[in-house]
């Protein structure tokens, strides 16, 4: 196994990818408004990226099973870079939409292929650790990216997009010259003969894990879309306060993913970590209802973030162990379910918030309990399958 050499490189790759992605987050609303975007159009501009990932992540995963991980990761990163540069030179709203569509289509290759690479190079015992490290790199990138974007946007609203584009180019060169291919020719030949993952996902016990991730993604994106308004009404917190709170939550989640996930999955198994993560996440949702100042907001959101953060790496690890399809096909489909949650979650959260401000978090508790039940159903189905019932 080359995991000791490759995992730090993959950490750096995904960190730089997410820094580039995060750089544009604080700028995009103002940039789009300059081109005449309405709030609805801005929402569509953000959603179209996730929609492209929903459609194309499984395709890229399957392609990486056939031709190898490295070329697909390179396609994803160069696509991301291209989309940032296109956004930087955009002068009309349709150009921004075109850039987001191109970026979503090509960069949807990144996450499933990197996770498949981790599955290739890690033993089943260390799989959770590897997935946790990738989760930590994503979390760290989201912490630093928006901060960098906020600073450079003071110079010009175009500057963060150019910066994100160059960051992605650097990442591309890192992959090109440093990262080695993880799939050997016999693996590619085996993968090309394996069963289609969509049929497998919809016809076996593993389907419950994919839907579990959908509900977790739904609950998270609903919180992300509404928490700023909730905290402003309940505790009078402003944008600077929220920036610090999300930074604390992200940093805590990244530390737990990078350190605790590997040790816990190794000792107790992915199933235990998934269930504990869901329970802590549900507790976080419950506590958020009682936010009344900066300190309670930071603590309660961090509790939620720590619980939520350990679920995706553990689900990814378990799926790549249990699935009979190629790792890329499996992680691609998981990314697709994750994206579906990110598309539905924000408008659903906003609608629930408009009814009662605490409703998105009550629904988060319900979604978490549902996810826990889905895991229990999965374990029952797996046991029946193993004894031939």
Give the DSSP letter string of 154-217. Answer: TT-SSHHHHHHHHHHHHHHHHHHHHPPP---HHHHHHHHTSPPHHHHHHHSTTHHHHHHHHHHH
Q: How far apart are CA 88 and CA 83, in angstroms?
A: 9
> 126 and 160: one domain?
yes
| Nearest partner of 146 among 160, 158, 157, judged by Cα | 160
Span 70-77, average pLDDT: 96
Residue 251 makes CB contacts below 8 A (sequence gap 6+) with 139, 140, 143
Predicted pLDDT of residue 198: 53
Ramachandran region, residue 183 (left: φ > 0; alpha: ψ -120 to 50; beta: rest)? beta
Same-domain check for residues 239 and 360: yes
Q: What's the average model confidence in pLDDT over 38-49?
A: 85
Please state, in angstroms and as integers, the Cα–Cα distance from residue 52 to each residue in 31, 297, 298, following that order: 21, 33, 33
Query: Residue range 207-212: average pLDDT?
Result: 95
Provide the token pair at 346: 């924000």
Give the whole-angstrom CA distance, residue 170 versus residue 177: 11
pLDDT at res. 189: 55
Are residues 181 and 251 located together in one domain of the fold?
Answer: no
- Report DSSP state, residue 99: H
65 shares its domain with 112: yes
Do 185 and 101 share a structural domain? yes
CATH number at residue 81: 1.20.1250.20
| Higher per-residue pLDDT: 185 or 315 | 315
10 Å Cβ neighbour count for 230?
A: 21
Distance CA 370, CA 216 (A): 9
Looking at every residue in the chain, the average pLDDT score rounds to 89
Rounded CA-CA distance 247/148 in Å is 13
- The Cα-based distances of 4 to 8, 9, 121, 122 in angstroms read 7, 9, 9, 9
Cβ contact 316:131 at 8 Å? yes
- Do 18 and 138 meet the contact criterion of CB atoms below 8 Å apart? yes
For residues 96 and 44, give the distance between their C-alpha atoms in angstroms, rounded to a whole number.
Answer: 11
Reported confidence tier of residue 10, pLDDT bands at 50, 70, 90: very high
The 10 Å Cβ neighbour count of residue 205 is: 17
Q: How far is CA 347 from the centre of its chain?
A: 18
Residues 84 and 207 both lie in one domain: no
Reported as a pLDDT band with limits 50, 70 and 90, residue 144 is confident
pLDDT bracket for residue 219 (50, 70, 90): very high
Residue 1: give the domain boundaries: 1-193
pLDDT above 50 (res 1): no
Which of 141, 163, 193 marks a domain boundary? 193
Which two three-digit tokens encode residue 193?
């003969």
**Cβ contact 145:20 at 8 Å:** yes
User: Do 137 and 244 reside in the same domain of the chain?
Assistant: no
Say if residue 308's pLDDT is above 60.
Answer: yes
Nearest to 154 by CA among 26, 42, 240: 26
User: Which residues contact residue 267 at a Cβ distance below 8 angstroms, ignoring those fewer than 6 apart?
Assistant: none
Residue among 247, 274, 276 at smallest CA distance from 375: 274
Q: Contact 188/194 with Cβ under 8 angstroms?
A: no
pLDDT over 90, % of the chain: 63
- Tally of domains in the chain: 2
Based on the domain organization, do 123 and 78 belong to the same domain? yes
pLDDT in tens, 88-117: 999 999 999 999 999 999 999 999 999 999
273 plus 146 within the same structural domain? no
Q: Does pLDDT of 121 surpass 60? A: yes
pLDDT average, residue stretch 71-78: 96
Is 70 a residue whose pLDDT tops 50? Answer: yes
What pLDDT, on the 0 to 100 scale, is given for residue 191?
58
**Between residues 292 and 183, which one has the greater pLDDT?**
292
Q: Of 170, 193, 216, which one is at a domain's C-terminal end?
A: 193
pLDDT at 16 over 60: yes
Three-class SS state of 27: coil
Q: Does the reported pTM lie above 0.95?
A: no
Distance CA 318, CA 135 (A): 15
Name the domain boundary from 193, 214, 242: 193
The per-residue pLDDT for range 220-270, each reduced to its tens digit, is: 999 988 998 899 899 998 878 888 888 888 899 899 998 889 899 999 999
**pLDDT value at position 374?**
96
> CB neighbours (10 Å) of residue 32?
23
Residue 195 has pLDDT above 70, yes or no: no
Residue 185 has pLDDT above 90, yes or no: no
Mapping DSSP to helix (H, G, I), strand (E, B) and coil, where does residue 127 land?
helix
Do 211 and 287 have their domain in common?
yes
pLDDT of residue 324: 82
């Amino acid at each position: 196994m080359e995991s000791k050499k490759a995992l730090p490189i993959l950490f750096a790759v995904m960190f730089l990818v997410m820094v580039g992605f995060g750089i544009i987050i604080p700028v995009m609303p103002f940039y789009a408004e300059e081109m005449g975007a309405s709030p609805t159009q801005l929402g569509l501009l953000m959603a179209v990226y996730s929609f492209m990932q929903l459609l194309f992540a499984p395709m890229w995963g399957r392609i990486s099973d056939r031709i190898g991980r490295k070329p697909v990761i390179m396609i994803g990163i160069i696509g991301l870079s291209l989309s940032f540069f296109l956004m930087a030179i955009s002068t009309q709203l349709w150009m921004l939409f075109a850039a987001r569509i191109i970026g979503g289509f090509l960069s949807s290759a990144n996450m499933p292929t990197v996770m498949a690479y981790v599955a290739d190079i890690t033993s089943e015992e260390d799989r959770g650790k590897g997935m946790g490290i990738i989760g930590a790199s994503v979390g760290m990138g989201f912490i630093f990216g928006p901060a960098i974007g906020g600073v450079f946007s003071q110079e010009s609203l175009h500057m963060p997009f150019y910066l994100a584009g160059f960051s992605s180019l650097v990442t591309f060169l890192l992959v090109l010259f440093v990262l080695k291919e993880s799939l050997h020719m016999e693996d590619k030949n085996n993968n090309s003969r394996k069963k289609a993952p969509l049929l497998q996902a919809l016809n076996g016990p593993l389907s419950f894990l994919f839907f579990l991730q959908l509900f977790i993604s739904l609950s998270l994106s609903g919180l992300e879309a509404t928490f700023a308004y909730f905290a402003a009404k309940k505790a009078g917190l402003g944008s600077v306060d929220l920036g610090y709170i999300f930074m604390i939550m992200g940093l805590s989640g990244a530390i737990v993913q990078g350190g605790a996930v590997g040790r816990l999955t190794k000792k107790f198994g992915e199933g235990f970590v998934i269930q504990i993560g869901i329970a802590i996440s549900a507790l976080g949702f419950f506590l958020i209802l009682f936010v009344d100042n900066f300190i309670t907001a930071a603590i309660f959101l961090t509790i939620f973030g720590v619980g939520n953060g350990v679920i995706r790496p553990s689900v990814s690890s378990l799926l790549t162990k249990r699935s009979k399809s190629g790792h890329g096909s499996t992680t691609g489909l998981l990314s697709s379910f994750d994206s579906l949650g990110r598309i539905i979650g924000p408008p659903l959260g906003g609608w629930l918030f408009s009814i009662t401000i605490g409703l998105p978090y009550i629904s988060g508790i319900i979604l978490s309990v549902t996810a826990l039940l889905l895991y229990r159903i999965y374990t029952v189905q797996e046991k029946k399958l193993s004894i031939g019932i």
